[in-house]
Amino acid sequence: MPQFPNTLESINRMARTAPQELVRLGEARFEQALDEVVARVTEDRGREIVMLAGPSGSGKTTAARKLAGRFRALGMQSDVLSLDDFYLDRDAIPCGANGKPDYESVHALDLPLLQAALSDLLAGRKAEIPAFDFTAGHRSAATRTLQLGEQDAVIVEGLHALNPLVTAFLPHENVLKLYLRVARRICKADGTVLLRRRELRLIRRLLRDRRDRASSAAHTLSLWDNVLLGEQNYLLPFRAGADLDLDSTFLYEPCVFAADVLDFLAEADLPDEARETAGHLSDALRCFVHIEPACVPESSLLREFLGRDGLRD
Q: How confident is the model at residue 2 (pLDDT cuts 50, 70, 90)?
A: low
> What pLDDT shows up at residue 309?
60
User: Average of pLDDT values for 286-301?
Assistant: 96
- In which element (H, E) is residue 12 found? helix 8-17
Whether 84 has a pLDDT exceeding 80, the answer reads yes
Q: Which residues pair with 130 in a beta bridge?
A: 143
Q: What are the C-alpha distances in Å from 186 to residues 22, 149, 173, 253?
A: 15, 44, 38, 11
pLDDT digits (tens, 9 = 90+) for 152-176: 999 999 999 999 999 888 998 999 9
- Give pLDDT tens digits for 270-290: 999 899 999 999 999 999 999
Closest among 74, 86, 84 to 41, alpha carbons compared: 74
The pLDDT tens digits for 4-41 are: 899 999 999 999 999 999 999 999 999 999 999 999 99
Single pTM value for the model: 0.92
* Distance between CA atoms of residues 184 and 168, nearest Å: 31
